[in-house]
Amino acid sequence: MPFRSSPHASPPESDPVSPPHGSGLFRRQPQLDRALVVILGRPRRRLGWLLPLALLVVVCFADWNTSGDFRVLSWLVVVPVVAAALCPVGTTALFAVAAVVAYAVVDQAWEHEFRAGLPDFILVSTGGLLAVAAAWLRRRGERRALSVQNVADTTRATVIRPLPPSWGGLLHAHIYLPADAEARLGGDFYDIQPSPWGTRALLGDVQGKGLGAVAVAANLLGTFREAGFHQPDLRVVAERMEIRMERNRLYEQAMGYKDGDRFATAVLLDFPPPGSADGYIDVINFGHDPPFAVSARGVRRLDADSSRLPLGLSELAAVSERSAGPYRVPVAEDETLLLTTDGVTEARDRAGDFFPLAEALEAAVAEDPQLADSPYRLVRAVRDRMLRHVYGRLHDDTTIFAVRIAAPSAESVPSVLSLTRWTEISPSTTALPGRQDSTEPPG
């Protein structure tokens, strides 16, 4: 299927690289930047030193203007403690030294009978040392948390591969919002797989969170990518995903994992090859929320008379319902399909009311009839309205995924390999009854 582009598909441009500060002799050098980071912290935290500095000045001024019967100079111990919570280790050490020096200077200015003396000096010095140690521990914890976040981001980027703005003849956009901003890992997954039989799209949600849910999502995505390319029948693709889910369940039970009974909801879409006369798509729904078709003419829900049970629960269905085929729905060229996980439809406000996705889409289209022309703008509009509904507090991982058929382009690049190439290399195929399988490509 050809690679297509459209004026509506332009992704948001990346921020330009900022030029060096200044010019000539006054241009900031990398060594100076590193020194500023060590002393003052990152740019977002470089104002953190103002509070401990203000405390230092206030305590010294208050002690200088009080009587000898009420000395507050020992409160200088608070200065490095506050710095430890807001500043880097180097800045905290500077404030610890400044507090000790200020104590010695101000205390010596008093007459001998009113001086705080050695006990308070030891208190301020010990407090400074403990504050520096606390700042070092805090900084080490921040680095460890950042490392965990990087691992989580890398893991998710490996499982859910990045896609070109236009892929397999489809324009697409997505937004993923984790409920736990620190963990950044959830069971939501999506992908687009071009094939000689058309382009297949998938959105799903694995029950649960954490690495276990990510592992299940990776298994399902791997099966979808392989079966979605090789199999002309969407029903066979669905069966392969059912089998993969069952194999994963047996493996987790054999390993003794507590989450060995996971299941996953999903929506499987099949777009016909370009040039097809009929405007339609085939849909297999595994217990997921049906997609919406959005255009300037309005919003419609692509419901079906019946759908399959979630992946991993097929054994609970009747034998005749386990291999239900796809249902076909008409889709116009100006319509964008919107798919979401239950993090959107089950998002609640403070009163406990669910987010009205259909009404929100209709209101967004009424405000901007051209919203559906760009998947990127559509998913952003849904995200903004949902976050306003929940006041920015999410309780479940959320994925918003939009796809539409791209307009034909004169500069087309093949986005899928033909099976003929592999059959010419290795003509032997393994044929199963009612299925068409081909050998895997070498390597």
Q: State pLDDT tens for residues 382-421.
A: 999 999 999 888 888 889 999 998 877 634 445 555 555 4
Establish if 349 belongs to a structural domain.
Answer: yes
Domain closes at, from 97, 118, 151: 151
Q: Which two tokens stand for residue 123?
A: 């208190």
- 377 and 236 part of one domain: yes
Establish if 302 belongs to a structural domain.
Answer: yes
* Length of the chain (residues): 443
Establish if 439 belongs to a structural domain.
Answer: no
Establish if 217 belongs to a structural domain.
Answer: yes
Name the nearest CA neighbour of 399 among 227, 267, 236. Answer: 267
- 338 and 398 part of one domain: yes
* Backbone dihedral region for residue 41 (phi beyond 0: left; psi -120 to 50: alpha; all else: beta): left
Q: pLDDT of 186-199, one tens digit each? A: 788 999 999 998 89
Establish if 10 belongs to a structural domain.
Answer: no
When pLDDT is averaged across residues 23-50 and rounded to a whole number, the result is: 52
- 389 and 292 part of one domain: yes
- 298 and 350 part of one domain: yes
When pLDDT is averaged across residues 279-305 and rounded to a whole number, the result is: 89
- 83 and 167 part of one domain: no
- 79 and 178 part of one domain: no
- 375 and 228 part of one domain: yes
In this prediction, residue 291 carries a pLDDT of 93
Domain closes at, from 83, 118, 151: 151
Residue 248 sits in a domain of what CATH number?
3.60.40.10
pLDDT above 70 covers a percentage of the chain that reads 76
DSSP E strands, 207-291: 264-271, 280-286
- CA dist 88 and 293 (Å) reads 51
Domain closes at, from 132, 151, 170: 151
- 145 and 198 part of one domain: no
- 228 and 344 part of one domain: yes
Establish if 434 belongs to a structural domain.
Answer: no
- 141 and 194 part of one domain: no
- Other beta carbons within 10 angstroms of residue 421's beta carbon come to 9
In this prediction, residue 277 carries a pLDDT of 61
Domain residues for the domain of 36 are: 24-151
- CA dist 152 and 290 (Å) reads 29
- 172 and 314 part of one domain: yes
Q: pLDDT of 52-106, one tens digit each? A: 999 999 988 888 887 766 778 888 899 999 999 889 999 999 999 999 998 888 8
Total count of domains within the chain: 2
Q: What is the dihedral of CA 57, 60, 62, 65, to 10 degrees?
A: -130
- 175 and 73 part of one domain: no
Please state whether the predicted TM-score (pTM) of the whole model is above 0.85.
no
